[in-house]
C-alpha cells in the first residue's frame, strides 16, 4: 500500500493537530506530497515546522468555513504541485448545547465548518480529482447516525455529509472515489476545543472510561480507504457496536440517550 501513494498529492484539511495532523504525516511517510491546512497560522506553522522535517509538504492557511478560502486552498495546492490525487475533508468543530439554548448563530458556525467546509472544498477540488481519478475522503462521526442529545448541531452537520457522500458516490462513480468514514471514540489532543452554546470555546474534557482509538490508527484506516477505494467504513469496536445496536435494537440506544443526556459530555469525536 505504501508504494501506491508515492508522489501522489494529498490535501488534508484541518491538519494542524489531531487526526488531520496524524493523517498528513502518514501519507507523507508513504511518499505522498502533502498540503497541510489550518485556520490558525501559529498552530499550522508549528505543525509544518515539525512535519516538514520528515515529509514533503507545504502549508496553506485557510478557514474552510469561508468559500474563498476553500478555493485558495485548492488553488495553492495546484500551484505548488500541479495536480491533486486525494482530498481528505477532516476539518471540523465539536459543539455542545441543548437545542433550546443553542442560538441560530451557533448552528451556522458548526454547519459552516463541518458541512459547508467539506462541500466548498470538494467543489473546487473535483475538476482536478477527475483528472487523476482521485479520491475524496469525508471524515464523519458516529454522531451522524443518530441525533445526539446535547449535540444536535454537531449531529446535523455530520448527518448532512452522509447524504452528500452517498449522492457523490452515485453521480461520480468511475470518475472520483468518495469514501465516508465514521470515526469512533478517538483520543484528543490536549488543545482541542469545543464550541459552547454562548458562542465561546472551551477545552474539550478528557475522555475517561473508554477504550480510545489512537489517531495514528485512524490515519492508517484513512489511507486504506483510499487505497481500496472503499465507500464507507465504521471505526472502533464501540463505533461498530453502536452501528449494530442502531440497526437491530434502536430502542435500547434511544433509552440510553434519554437516560443520560442531562449529563451530556462531548463523546463524539
User: Whole domain around residue 236: which residue ranges?
Assistant: 2-263
User: Considering the domain boundaries, does residue 254 fall inside one?
Assistant: yes
First to last CA, the chain: 27
Residues 143-171: b if buried by 16+ CB within 10 A, e if exposed: bbbbebbbbbbbbbbbbbbbebbeebbee
Residue position matching grid coordinates 433550546: 100
Q: What is the pLDDT of residue 46?
A: 97
* Close Cβ partners of 181 (under 8 Å, ≥ 6 residues apart): 137, 138, 139, 140, 221, 222, 225, 232, 233, 235
Which pLDDT value is given to residue 191? 64
Is residue 122 in some structural domain? yes
Q: How far apart are CA 133 and CA 139, in angstroms?
A: 20
Distance in angstroms (rounded) separating the CA atoms of residues 5 and 220: 12
Instruction: Flag whether 223 is in a domain.
Output: yes
pLDDT in tens, the chain (269 residues): 779 999 999 999 999 999 999 999 999 999 999 999 999 999 999 999 999 999 999 999 999 999 999 999 999 999 999 999 999 999 998 888 888 988 899 899 999 999 999 999 999 999 999 999 999 999 998 888 888 888 899 999 999 999 999 999 999 999 999 999 999 765 566 567 777 777 777 776 665 545 667 889 999 999 999 999 999 998 865 666 665 766 766 676 666 666 665 444 444 44
> pTM of the predicted model, to two decimals?
0.89
Which single residue is written with the C-alpha cell 458516490? 169
The runs of H, that is alpha helices, within 205-249 are: 215-228, 237-248
268 located within any domain? no
So which residues are the catalytic ones? 154
Burial class, 3, CB count within 10 angstroms (exposed 0-12 / middle 13-18 / buried 19+): exposed
Strand 33-38 relative to strand 86-89: parallel, antiparallel, unpaired?
Answer: unpaired
- Contact between 101 and 150 (Cβ < 8 Å): no
Residue 63 forms part of a structural domain: yes
Q: Which of 22, 4, 3 is nearest to 12 (CA)?
A: 22
Query: In this predicted structure, what is the pLDDT of residue 70?
Result: 98
> Is residue 169 in some structural domain?
yes
Q: Across-strand partners of 181?
A: 139, 233
**Structural domain includes residue 269:** no
CA distances from 1 to 26, 36, 153, 232 (A): 12, 22, 37, 19
Question: 98: which 3 cell numbers?
Answer: 441543548
| Counted domains in the chain | 1
CATH number of the domain that residue 179 is part of: 3.40.50.720
How are beta strands 193-195 and 201-203 bridged, if at all?
antiparallel
Give 179's strand partners: 137
Residue 93 lies in a domain: yes
Cell numbers that stand for 177 in this block? 472515489
User: Using CA atoms, how far apart are residues 243 and 89, in angstroms rounded to an integer?
Assistant: 22
SS3 label, residue 103:
coil
Amino acid at each position: 500500500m505504501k508504494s501506491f501513494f508515492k508522489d501522489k498529492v494529498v490535501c488534508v484539511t484541518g491538519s494542524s493537530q489531531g487526526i488531520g495532523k496524524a493523517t498528513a504525516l502518514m501519507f507523507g511517510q508513504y511518499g505522498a506530497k502533502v498540503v497541510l491546512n489550518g485556520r490558525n497560522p501559529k498552530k499550522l506553522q508549528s505543525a509544518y515546522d515539525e512535519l516538514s522535517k520528515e515529509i514533503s509538504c507545504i502549508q496553506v492557511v485557510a478557514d474552510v468555513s469561508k468559500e474563498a478560502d476553500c478555493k485558495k486552498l485548492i488553488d495553492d495546492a495546484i500551484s505548488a504541485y500541479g495536480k491533486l490525487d486525494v482530498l481528505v475533508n477532516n476539518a471540523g468543530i465539536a459543539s455542545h448545547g441543548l437545542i433550546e439554548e443553542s442560538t441560530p448563530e451557533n448552528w451556522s458556525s458548526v454547519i459552516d465548518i463541518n458541512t459547508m467546509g467539506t462541500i466548498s472544498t470538494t467543489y473546487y477540488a473535483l475538476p482536478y480529482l477527475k483528472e487523476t481519478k482521485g479520491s475524496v475522503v469525508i471524515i464523519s462521526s458516529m454522531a451522524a447516525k443518530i441525533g445526539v442529545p446535547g449535540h444536535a448541531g454537531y449531529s446535523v452537520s455530520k448527518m448532512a455529509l452522509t447524504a452528500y457522500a452517498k449522492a457523490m458516490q452515485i453521480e461520480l462513480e468511475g470518475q472520483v472515489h468518495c469514501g465516508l468514514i465514521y470515526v469512533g471514540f478517538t483520543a484528543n489532543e490536549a488543545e482541542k476545543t469545543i464550541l459552547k452554546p454562548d458562542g465561546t470555546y472551551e477545552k474539550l474534557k478528557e475522555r475517561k472510561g473508554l477504550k480510545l482509538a489512537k489517531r495514528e490508527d485512524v490515519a492508517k484506516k484513512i489511507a486504506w480507504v483510499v487505497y481500496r477505494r472503499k465507500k464507507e467504513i465504521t471505526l472502533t469496536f464501540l463505533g461498530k457496536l453502536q452501528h449494530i445496536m442502531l440497526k437491530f435494537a434502536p430502542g435500547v440506544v434511544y433509552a440510553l440517550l434519554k437516560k443520560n443526556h442531562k449529563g451530556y459530555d462531548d463523546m463524539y469525536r
